[in-house]
Amino acid sequence: MARTQVAIIGAGPSGLLLSQLLHLHGIDSVVIERQSRDYVEGRIRAGVLEQGSVDLLIKAGVGERLLSERLVHDGFALGFADRSFRIDLRRFTGDAVSVYGQTEVTKDLMDARVAGGGKLIFEATDVAVEGFDGERPTVRYLHEGRLHELACDFIAGCDGYHGVCRRSVPATAMQAFERVYPFGWLGILADVPPAAHELVYSNHARGFALCSMRSATRSRYYVQCALDEQLEAWPDSRFWDELRLRLPAEVAQSVVTGPSIEKSIAPLRSFVVEPMRFGQMFLVGDAAHIVPPTGAKGLNLAAADVRILYQALVERYRTGSTGLLDRYSERCLRRIWKAERFSWWFTSVMHKFDDDAFSHRIQLAELDYLTGSESAQASLAENYVGLPFDTPP
């Protein structure tokens, strides 16, 4: 039976980041992933990073390309009632966000782990986590036709919402909180310049729209859609027409169209499981919580979990103390629920939930109030750039 100190299930950005940070502190890990490396590196996801996430990637030694290629945004725009209003992040917080695709973050982390001799196992099937409620956790999996067993001190469940780690916990040992939204986001990626220098979130009677980007030459756009929509019903021409209808005129005029290189529909949900620790197994990122993408908190929350967990593991191996490990759930969940609150609020203000004209007028009043109140703008900016971390004792 092989052995490691920390078995990490999932080779997405959270699993790779945890492995890299542990490696820099002399802690051995093995990363086990059910998909191929090409699949993992090719997944298209979010692209807005809080400064705390940027700082953590720099600490992990993978910040060089990020700092060179990122787009730094000092603000973003809210569109409603055919007007556009800018939220000045720098003014209200002294901080900004960075646009750098999750795909690129994953590639940087993957390259770093390979260069550092990291143990990465791809295309592992029938993964099972066992014994995590005792002192001898074990991970079993099939790889290249053989059954493997990996003994470890701790298991990090970085395997997403549908992963095996959370599903291996008895239902009676945890409590789940969920809200499923009655719509999705239809998104396209296109090699065209962005419609605006910064992100534009737009409230419209026809539904929400978002203008985002991955670089100065690659744009990511979204429109709210019904959950039963089919991609075949949305040729590029229909998408571009609908997008422009939902944007303030000045923004719509700047939209450059082109053929999509990726198109998908994503449902929206809020989800949290408590606790996030089960014996010697710790849930990280989407395995424990999901936020709607409004406000771009998903990847940033996963990075925050990694930050807390790696610090706790370093303390455990350096001093023998389990103080930070014992507080893992508490520290993570305080931040998670605040981000869930913000994502829920931002989603509820910007999206069309029904055809009730009163509800839409309330949304417009909320946005009108926001644009006239510096206190409200400061609160929005503070949440958007990322709330401060607590300091471990």
Catalytic sites, residue numbers: 73, 201, 293, 297, 384
Tokens of 245: 């209808």
| Cross-strand partners of 261 | none
**Short-list 253, 240, 250, 254, CA closest to 209:** 240
Q: Is 156 helix (H, G, I), strand (E, B) or coil?
A: strand
Whole-angstrom distance, CA of residue 211 vs CA of residue 130 = 44
Burial readout 279-317 (b: 16 or more C-beta within 10 A, e: otherwise): ebbbbbbbbbbbbbbbbbbbbbbbbbbbbbbbbbbbbbb
Pair 293, 208: CB distance under 8 Å: no
Whole-angstrom distance, CA of residue 111 vs CA of residue 324 = 30
Whole-angstrom distance, CA of residue 272 vs CA of residue 170 = 16
Task: Please count the other Cβ atoms lying within 10 Å of the Cβ belonging to residue 167.
Answer: 12
In angstroms, what is the C-alpha Rg of the chain? Answer: 21
Q: Can you state the angle between helices 357-372 and 374-385, rounded to 10 degrees?
A: 90
Strands 75-80 and 125-130: unpaired
